[in-house]
Amino acid sequence: MARPKTPLTKRLWAKIAKTGPDECWPWTGGTNLSNYGRIRGEDGVEIPVHYAVWWETHGPLPPYHRIRHTCGNRACCNPAHLEVYEIVDGEW
Ligand SMILES: [Zn+2]
């Protein structure tokens, strides 16, 4: 299973269609059935693209936190449209 070792950062930003700072930045790569963008992490496991964008721009998530889009566009990759929220008990 030889796979080209292009760093995640490079593969990520290569498929994001950057537009204006306030506009949505559509993901041009593959998505899952819920229209969330997917990308393979360095370990080969697929991760949601908006998480990868967050890690690239803000660093690791605090424990028990998840990321959502403030614009409601699931394929959006604009870091300004992502926000972290705390998981409430029982909401997984
Ligand atoms: Zn957006």
Assess if residue 23 is contained within a domain: yes
pLDDT in the model for residue 12:
97
> Does a structural domain hold residue 2?
no
In a domain, residue 92? The reply is no
Cβ contacts of residue 80 below 8 Å, gap of 6+?
A: 21, 22
Cα 4 to averaged position of ligand 1 atoms, centre (Å): 30
Q: How many CB atoms lie within 10 A of CB 16?
A: 20
Q: Which residues contact 49 (CB under 8 A, 6 or more apart)?
A: 12, 27, 29, 36, 37, 38, 39, 75, 77
Asked whether residue 39 is domain-assigned, the answer is: yes
Nearest one of 43, 51, 54, 40 to 11, comparing CA atoms: 40
Ligand 1 center–CA 19 separation, angstroms: 10
Nearest partner of 66 among 31, 27, 92, judged by Cα = 92
Over the stretch 62-72, which tens digit does the pLDDT of each residue have?
999 999 999 99
Question: pLDDT tens across 23-76, in order?
Answer: 999 999 999 888 899 999 989 999 999 999 999 999 999 999 999 999 999 999
Structural domain span for residue 18: 8-86
